[in-house]
Structure 1
């Protein structure tokens, strides 16, 4: 009778160990899936930012080639992201700086900056240099405007 109880206790311990291993495996799987989903969302948001910035550059180039040099920043939306482009003209050279911003609820907005230099070729501006400088700061300032105090 005593040997039967030992076998029963060993079987119960083995079952508990097996359940623990299965639960740990499931928790690891769920964590990996969540991390993968977050990485995928970040990649999607980054692509949206770059597309928005590229759209702003295309728009600014089209306006410049039509002879309507924009003096104010060009703003708008592209998909779920927003863009803002500024155009600087220096003789025959044109520099367009575009920021694409993807709002992310509960977190700092994601932003990417693209800068292109263009020169006139055959009567139209053509891109001669493309660079991606560091993105603009999108962190929200500390402090409260409602409090009437100074933001720091």
Structure 2
């Protein structure tokens, strides 16, 4: 999206999020398809990780928590691949492409046709499994113990 050539003042934050997501999903999809063909390099992984990071930030701004979790899980996988902790074979690329689809559906959803929590949780878990996390979303910390007052 080229903000310097286009007046974006008439768009809502959600519209801007959707435009940003479309652009970043294009970057991810193109990178993943090249990765699937064996064309992996550090620069491509970096641009894909940045795309996931951008979507995560944009989703946080509009308060779309499921998209934040999903983009964060994608970002984690791509960082692990950059660091050599995850190998992205054909099945791993398929998981990431599926995550791109779910993320795009979340961005475009008007409520009724949004992906359900089960699908999002399953996708996040599948992403976590790609780099040995078992589940990509960390468990919530237990509440602090209540200290009785004397």
Structure with the largest fraction of strand: 1
Regarding TM over 0.5, the answer is no
Higher relative contact order (CA 8 A, sep 6+): 2
With normalisation by structure 2, the TM-score equals 0.32
Larger radius of gyration: 1
